């Protein structure tokens, strides 16, 4: 038996395998990953078509709708993919089994991060192909900039997912609703569909303190002005580094609080 | 190397104003089987939670195989395991998939062979490729025991391992535990409400009441001291406060 005192890729693989088995065994879970992103893309795609027929600046703005909705899905689905895998352990009453195993918190979190990417890919790849077929919009055509957009959005999604999971760990499934709703606070504040200048002056500094704002501004600069704003990506990366550190500290603190409250042995459906 | 597999020292747990475990101390010899008894709310599950590192003590400490469970649990978690009816295995995964996942988590070498051996020993072969949520209660208990034995633990903690099982399956599980202990020399801590099970399996009984240890002796000595025929009668005496131990009464 290998000692459990150092990081183990095998234990990360065990977590990924557990959730892969689960996804593979449940077609409703797989369908859910594609269904809502597809509905959103189709709705915003038709809206983009309609607005693009209008004259002037509005038409130019409309060209960003599909990119915006797909990048929003990276943010939202990335977080949901992380949090859902965590919730599955709570629903299955399996968390205590994991917590008394040699699995370390960092290995558990990395396993959830991998599953977040797997779940996102299952949803996003077919939807991005549908966008090409239906609306002639090629998300992958954004090129290397897309890597910077994706990375920054995923970092934010994992930080929020980590925070939500910590809250559920400490407060039980009563806090589950946060997993579904917390990210929607980012929807108006991170200016997914409009420039930051649309917000009142007092709200703009708050928006700029959220990493996705820089990504969505960067996306508009690329799609409308054909300029890649590296400065915005660096800003988002710095904010994400801080966000991930804070979220990891919060998760560990909430895990400690759950141990003190005895809630790890009483979690369940 | 210490001769004790589990050492609890002044172990205390408060939940707000409520005292679940009130400064208990005990040491379990390596290779022993100990029963942890007590009525509902006596502090058994909280004590087990603290031993497994799931619950942080308010005061005191637990050492398992010489490792402090509050500070260095990862030194020993791969040598321990746990089974409880209050914890489940993922229902949508097959029995084999569950065992594979836990085999990987515990770093078990030769997982395929280990699963095959457990399937043979615990008679899982017939349903090993069925989803864990679609097997009977008795089969689930055997699977939970297989998960608890996947890493051949040196310390095995069992919370009511035969609860809700028919007498035949329960007897079968007890025999398996006896064989495992004899073969492996493992230390077993067993919380149970089944007194005949405790009498059969345990070398020693720790009886808890309101978070305190009220008795700590081998089953036969406890029965003799209370002047009873069975451990169940002793349990009822302690739980209902009906009778003082004979030695105490003689004083």
Assess if residue B31 is contained within a domain: yes
Q: Is residue B250 part of a domain?
A: no
Q: Which residues contact B125 (CB under 8 A, 6 or more apart)?
A: B119
Q: Is the pLDDT of residue B68 over 80?
A: yes
What residue of A is the nearest CA neighbor of B76?
A4
Number of structural domains in chain B: 1
The mean pLDDT value of chain B amounts to: 91
Task: Mean pLDDT check: name the lowest of B15-19, B76-80, B102-106, B244-248.
Answer: B244-248
Q: Which of B15, B92, B152 sits opposite A22 (nearest CB)?
A: B92
- Which residue in A88, A93, A262 is closest to B87 by CB distance? A93
Chain A positions contacting chain B at CB under 8 Å are: 1-5, 8, 10-11, 13-14, 17-18, 21-22, 25-26, 88, 92-94, 96-104, 256, 259-262, 264-266, 268
Contacts of B62 (CB under 8 A, 6+ apart): B6, B7, B8, B9, B11, B50, B51, B68, B69, B70
- DSSP H or E run through B158: strand B155-159
A contact test, residue of B87, B89, B91, B131 with most A CBs within 10 A: B87
Q: How far apart are CA B97 and CA B92, in angstroms?
A: 10
The pLDDT assigned to B37 comes to: 93
Of A1, A18, A100, the CB nearest to B54: A100
Predicted model pTM: 0.90
Flag whether B236 is in a domain: no
Is 50 exceeded by the pLDDT of residue B164?
yes
* B192 in a structural domain: yes
Cβ–Cβ gap A97/B89 under 8 Å: yes
Q: Residues 179 to 208 of B: which have CB under 8 A from any A CB?
A: none
Shortest Cα distance from A262 to chain B (angstroms)? 5
In a domain? residue B244:
no
DSSP labels, chain A: ---SSS--HHHHHHHHHHHHHHHHT-HHHHHHHHHHHHHHHHHHHHHHHHHHTS-THHHHHHTTHHHHHHHHHHHHHHHHHHHHHHHHHHHTT-HHHHHTSS--HHHHHHHHHHHHHHHHHHHHHHHHHHHHHHH---GGGGTTHHHHHHHHHHHHHHHHHHHHHHHHHHHGGGGHHHHHHGGGGHHHHTTSSS-GGGS-TTTHHHHHTSHHHHHHHHHHHHHHH----HHHHHHHHHHHHHHHHHHHHHHHHHHHHHHHHTGGGS---
Per-residue model confidence (pLDDT) at position A1: 53
User: B146 lies in which domain range?
Assistant: 4-217
Could you read off the pLDDT of B5-35 as tens digits, one per residue?
A: 999 999 999 999 999 999 999 999 999 999 9
Sort out which chain A residues have CB atoms less than 8 A from B90's CB and list them.
Answer: 18, 22, 88, 92, 94
Residue A13: the pLDDT is 98
Residue B246 lies in a domain: no
Evaluate if residue B251 carries a pLDDT over 50.
Answer: no
Is B140 a residue whose pLDDT tops 60?
yes
The percent of residues above 90 in pLDDT, for chain B, comes to: 71
Each residue's pLDDT tens digit, B205-246: 999 999 999 999 999 999 998 888 888 888 888 878 766 655
Percent of chain B with pLDDT over 70: 95
C-alpha angle A3-B71-A164 in degrees, rounded to nearest 5: 90
User: What ranges do the domains of chain A cover?
Assistant: 9-265
**Rounded to a whole number, what is the distance in Å from the CA of A83 to chain B's nearest CA?**
17
pLDDT of residue B1: 47
CATH number at residue B203: 3.40.50.300
Q: What is the complex's ipTM, to 2 decimals? A: 0.90
So what's the pLDDT on residue A4? 55
pLDDT at A269: 38
CB contact under 8 A, A13 and B104: yes
pLDDT digits (tens, 9 = 90+) for B121-134: 899 999 999 999 99
| H or E element at residue B155 | strand B155-159
Nearest C-alpha in A relative to B15: A261
A4/B86 Cβ within 8 A: no
B12 touches chain A (CB under 8 A): no
**Under a CB-based contact definition with an 8 Å cutoff, are residues B11 and B23 in contact?**
yes
Nearest Cβ partner for A94 among B80, B90, B104: B90
In a domain, B10, yes or no: yes
pLDDT tens by residue, chain A, 269 residues: 555 568 999 999 999 999 999 999 988 888 989 998 999 899 988 988 888 888 777 777 777 888 999 999 999 999 999 999 999 999 999 999 999 999 999 999 999 999 999 999 999 999 999 999 999 888 898 888 999 999 999 999 999 999 999 999 988 888 888 888 999 999 999 999 999 999 999 999 999 999 999 999 999 999 988 999 999 999 999 999 999 999 999 999 999 999 999 888 876 43
Residues of B in contact with A23 (CB under 8 A): none
**Partner-chain contact A94 B55, CB within 8 Å:** no
Contact A159, A166 (CB under 8 A): no
Q: Tell me which residue in A21, A26, A265 faces B54 most closely, judged by beta carbons.
A: A265
Tell me, yes or no, if B105 comes closer than 8 A to chain A by beta carbon: yes
């Amino acid at each position: 038996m290998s000692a459990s005192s150092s990081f183990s890729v095998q234990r990360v693989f065990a977590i990924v395998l557990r959730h892969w088995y689960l996804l593979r065994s449940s077609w409703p879970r797989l369908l859910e990953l594609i269904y809502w992103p597809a509905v959103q893309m189709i709705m915003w795609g038709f809206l983009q078509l309609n607005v693009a027929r209008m004259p002037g600046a509005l038409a130019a703005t409309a060209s960003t709708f599909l990119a915006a909705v797909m990048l929003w899905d990276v943010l939202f689905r990335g977080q949901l993919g992380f949090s859902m895998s965590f919730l599955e352990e709570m629903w299955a009453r399996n968390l205590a089994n994991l917590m008394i195993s040699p699995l370390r918190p960092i290995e558990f979190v990395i396993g959830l991060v991998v599953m977040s990417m797997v779940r996102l890919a299952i949803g996003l790849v077919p939807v991005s192909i549908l966008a090409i077929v239906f609306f002639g919009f090629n998300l992958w055509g954004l090129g290397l900039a897309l890597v910077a957009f994706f990375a920054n959005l995923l970092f934010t999604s994992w930080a929020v997912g980590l925070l939500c999971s910590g809250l559920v760990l400490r407060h039980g499934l009563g806090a589950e609703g946060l997993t579904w709703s917390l990210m929607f606070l980012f929807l108006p504040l991170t200016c997914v569909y409009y420039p930051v200048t649309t917000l009142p002056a007092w709200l703009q500094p708050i928006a700029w303190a959220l990493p996705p704002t820089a990504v969505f501004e960067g996306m508009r600069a690329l799609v409308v002005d054909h300029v890649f704003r590296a400065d915005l990506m660096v800003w988002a990366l710095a904010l994400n580094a801080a966000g991930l550190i804070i979220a990891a500290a919060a998760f560990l603190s909430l895990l400690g609080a759950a141990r003190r409250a005895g809630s790890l042995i009483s979690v369940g459906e | 190397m210490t001769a004790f597999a589990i050492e609890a020292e002044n172990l205390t747990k408060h939940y707000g104003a409520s005292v679940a475990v009130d400064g208990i101390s005990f040491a379990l010899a390596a290779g022993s089987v100990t029963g942890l008894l007590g009525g509902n709310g006596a502090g058994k599950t909280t004590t087990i939670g603290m031993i497994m590192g799931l619950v942080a003590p308010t005061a005191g400490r637990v050492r398992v195989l010489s490792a402090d469970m509050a500070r260095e649990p990862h030194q020993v978690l791969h040598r321990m395991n746990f089974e409880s009816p209050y914890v489940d295995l993922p229902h949508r995964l097959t029995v084999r998939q569950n065992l594979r996942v836990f085999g990987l988590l515990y770093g078990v070498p030769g997982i395929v062979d280990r699963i095959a051996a457990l399937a043979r020993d615990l008679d899982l072969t017939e349903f090993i490729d069925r989803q864990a949520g679609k097997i009977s209660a008795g089969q689930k208990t055997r699977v939970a025991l297989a998960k608890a034995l996947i890493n051949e633990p040196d310390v095995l903690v069992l919370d009511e391992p035969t609860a809700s099982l028919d007498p035949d399956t329960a007897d079968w599980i007890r025999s398996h535990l006896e064989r495992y202990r004899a073969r492996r020399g493992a230390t077993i801590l067993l919380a149970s409400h089944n007194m005949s099970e405790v009498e059969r399996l345990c070398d020693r009984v720790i009886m808890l009441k309101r978070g305190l240890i009220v008795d700590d002796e081998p089953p036969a000595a406890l029965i003799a001291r209370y002047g009873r025929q069975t451990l169940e009668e002793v349990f009822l005496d302690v739980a209902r406060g009906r009778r003082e131990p004979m030695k105490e009464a003689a004083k």
